Amino acid sequence: MTKVTQEIDLYKKLLEKYKEIVLLNNITMNIYWDMDTYMPEKGVEQRSEELAIISGLIHEKTIDPEIGALLEEIKANENYEKLTPVEKRNIYLFQRDYDRNTKIPKELVEAISKQSALGNSIWKKAFAESDYELFKPELIKIFKLMKKFANYLDPSKDPYDVLLDLNEPGFTREIVDGLFEELRDGLKPLIKAIVNSPKQPDYSLIERACPKDIQEKLSKELAKVTNYDLNAGRIDETVHPFTTGYYDDVRVTTNYHLDDFSSSFFSVLHEIGHALYEQYLPQKHKYQPVGYSCSNGFHESQSRFIENFIGRSSEFWQYFLPKLKEITGGIFEDVELDPFVRAINRVIPSKIRVEADPVTYSMHVIIRHEIEKDLFAGKISFDDLPQIWNSKMKEYLGMDIENDAEGLLQDVHWSGGGFSSFPSYAIGNIIDGQLLWKMDQEIPDWRKDIEKGDLNKVLDWLKTKVHQMGNLYDPLELVKKITGEELSTKYYLNYLRKEYSRIYELK
C-alpha cells in the first residue's frame, strides 16, 4: 500500500468515527424534541434512563483514544500537506472537539452536570419567588465550576475568553467589548428619540382575537413563502419556541397567543430562519465537521434576517397583508398597509429580553455581557448583581425594575453554566447589518421581488454566502469572506437609524 492511499484510508476511518457521533447526537436531538412536544407525562422517568444511556455512549465515542491516534497519524504523515483545505479543516475541527472532550476530567463533567440540574431547579423556585438570595449560592457554585472548566481547556487564557470561544470561535472579550460599546453608544440616542417621538404606532391594529387554527394556517403559509421544506421539517407547539435538527429533518416550534397573532408569526419566521440554515447546509459535507453551522451568532443572524429584515419590511407586507386578510377572514379587514407596518415595528422598551423589539433587544444582551465580564474579572461581587442589573436597566433603557424575577433572574442560562452564551444574540444582529449592506450591493432589486412574495433571490444569496459555507471558516473570517470587511457595528446601526427614522418620523 502506498503512503497516499494509506493516508486516505486513515482520513476515511476518522470520518467514519465522526459520523457515528453525529448520528448519536441526532438521536438525542429527536429525543429532546419529543420530550418538549408529545411525550406523555408518565414517560419522564423512562426517558431519563434512555437519555443517560445514550449520553454515556456519546461520551465514550467522543473520547475514544483511537480518534486521537488517527489524528496524530494523519498529521504526522508526509502526505498531510497534500490534503485539501476542506479535509484539513475537518481534521482541525475534529481535533478541537477531541481536545475539549478529553481535557476535562470525568469528575468535573459530572460535577457540572449535577450542579446544572440542581441549579436549574433552584433557579425555577427563585424565579417564581423572585428571590435572588435563594439562587445566589448555586450561581457561585456553577461559576466556580465553569472557571475550572475553562482552566482545564486552556490555562494560559482568560477563562471568559475560553468560554466565549466555545460559542464564537475567534472572538475575545476585547473584541466583544469594542463592538458592544459602539452598539450601546449608537443605540442610546436612537432609543431615546424613538420613545420621545410624538408619532407612536397604533398597536390595536395587531392585538385582535385570532383563533389558533387560523394562526396555524398562517404558519403554513410562512413555510411556503420562505421555502421551508415541510417534507424535511415540521411546525409544532411548545411553551418556548425553538429549532432542532440536521439537514433532512429540521423541526421548528412556536407558541400561539390568541390575542396577538404577531407573537407566533414572528417567532415562526425567526425559527424558520434557523431551520433554513440547517436545511441548506452543503449535502456533500453531511456527517463531517465542516457540515455544521459556523457559530451561534451566525445562526442568530439567519433567524433575525428572516424575522426582522424580511418579515417586518413594508415590502413583505405589501405582498402579505392581502394574504393575511384572506386567511384570517374579517379580523384585519379594515387595516391599511402603512399604519400596520408601523405597528409591527413598534419599539417599546421592555424589562424582559425575550419580549424586546429589534431596536432595544441588543441592550439586554449588552447589560448581561457587561455584568458577566466584570464577574469574571473579579470587579464586582455576587452580592451586588441585582442592584447592578437594575441600575443598568434604568440607565440604558429607562426601565424601573421592581423585583429580581423581572430583573437579573429572568434568564435560565446561568443556572446551567451558560456564561458567555449571551453575546451571540447581539453578534447576530451586528452580522446581519453587514450582510444586508452587502446584499443591497449585490442584488439591489431584491426588495422589488419581496413585494411580489418572491424571496428566491434573497434566500439563494443567504444560501450561497452563509449556509453552504457550513463550518469552513470561523465567524470573523466568514464575515470578511462574504463582505470583504472586518465585522463592524456601523452597518447595523445605519440600518436601524434609517428604518426607524422613517417609521417614527425622526428628524
- Number of C-beta neighbours around residue 128 at 10 A: 11
User: Nearest approach, Cβ of 100 to Zn ion (angstroms)?
Assistant: 24
8 A C-beta contact, residue 164 and residue 295: no
CB closer to Zn ion, 370 vs 432: 432
- Number of C-beta neighbours around residue 398 at 10 A: 12
**Pair type for strands 249-254 and 243-246:** antiparallel
Half-sphere exposure of 33 (CA within 13 A, CB side): 21
User: Nearest approach, Cβ of 407 to Zn ion (angstroms)?
Assistant: 23
User: Nearest approach, Cβ of 196 to Zn ion (angstroms)?
Assistant: 30
Half-sphere exposure of 478 (CA within 13 A, CB side): 28
Cα gap 226→316, rounded to integer Å: 11
CB closer to Zn ion, 303 vs 429: 303
8 A C-beta contact, residue 205 and residue 343: yes
Using CA atoms, how far residue 445 sits from 268, 451, 452, in Å, is: 26, 11, 12
CB closer to Zn ion, 303 vs 328: 303
303 is an interface residue for Zn ion by CB under 5 A: yes
Q: Which run of H or of E encompasses 244?
A: strand 243-246
CB closer to Zn ion, 89 vs 274: 274
Cβ-based neighbours of 79, under 8 Å, separated by 6 or more: 3, 4, 7
User: Nearest approach, Cβ of 316 to Zn ion (angstroms)?
Assistant: 19
CB closer to Zn ion, 215 vs 303: 303
Q: In this structure, which amino acid lies at residue 490?
A: K
Q: Which stretch binds Zn ion (CB under 5 A): 227-235, 301-309, 330-338, 469-477?
A: 301-309
All 3 cell numbers of residue 144? 466556580
Catalytic option among 168, 271, 307, 372: 271
- Number of C-beta neighbours around residue 470 at 10 A: 24
Q: Which stretch binds Zn ion (CB under 5 A): 16-24, 206-214, 299-307, 392-400?
A: 299-307
User: Nearest approach, Cβ of 300 to Zn ion (angstroms)?
Assistant: 5
Using CA atoms, how far residue 500 sits from 194, 201, 399, in Å, is: 8, 12, 21
CB closer to Zn ion, 83 vs 272: 272
CB closer to Zn ion, 119 vs 297: 297
8 A C-beta contact, residue 125 and residue 342: no
CB closer to Zn ion, 253 vs 303: 303
- The whole-angstrom distance between residue 412's C-alpha and the CA centroid of its chain comes to 15
CB closer to Zn ion, 303 vs 415: 303
Cβ-based neighbours of 332, under 8 Å, separated by 6 or more: 205, 208, 321, 324, 325, 340
Cα gap 290→288, rounded to integer Å: 5
User: Nearest approach, Cβ of 271 to Zn ion (angstroms)?
Assistant: 7
User: Nearest approach, Cβ of 237 to Zn ion (angstroms)?
Assistant: 17
Among all chains, which residue has been given the C-alpha cell 398597509? 337
CB closer to Zn ion, 14 vs 281: 281
Q: Which stretch binds Zn ion (CB under 5 A): 59-67, 151-159, 302-310, 334-342?
A: 302-310
Sheet arrangement for strand 249-254? 233-237, 249-254, 243-246
User: Nearest approach, Cβ of 303 to Zn ion (angstroms)?
Assistant: 4
8 A C-beta contact, residue 470 and residue 293: yes
Residues of span 37-76 touching Zn ion by CB under 5 A: none
User: Nearest approach, Cβ of 203 to Zn ion (angstroms)?
Assistant: 24
Nearest residue to Zn ion, by Cβ distance, number only: 303
Residues of span 308-347 touching Zn ion by CB under 5 A: none
Q: In this structure, which amino acid lies at residue 267?
A: S
Q: Which stretch binds Zn ion (CB under 5 A): 172-180, 279-287, 303-311, 498-506?
A: 303-311
Q: Is 484 left (phi over 0), alpha (psi -120 to 50) or beta?
A: left
User: Nearest approach, Cβ of 341 to Zn ion (angstroms)?
Assistant: 23
Q: Buried b / exposed e across 72-96, counting CB within 10 Å, b at 16+? A: eebeebebeeebeebbebbbebbbe
- Clarify whether 271 is annotated catalytic: yes
Q: Which stretch binds Zn ion (CB under 5 A): 163-171, 199-207, 298-306, 328-336?
A: 298-306
Beta bridge partners of 234: 251
- Which residues form the catalytic set? 271
Binding site for Zn ion (CB under 5 A): 303
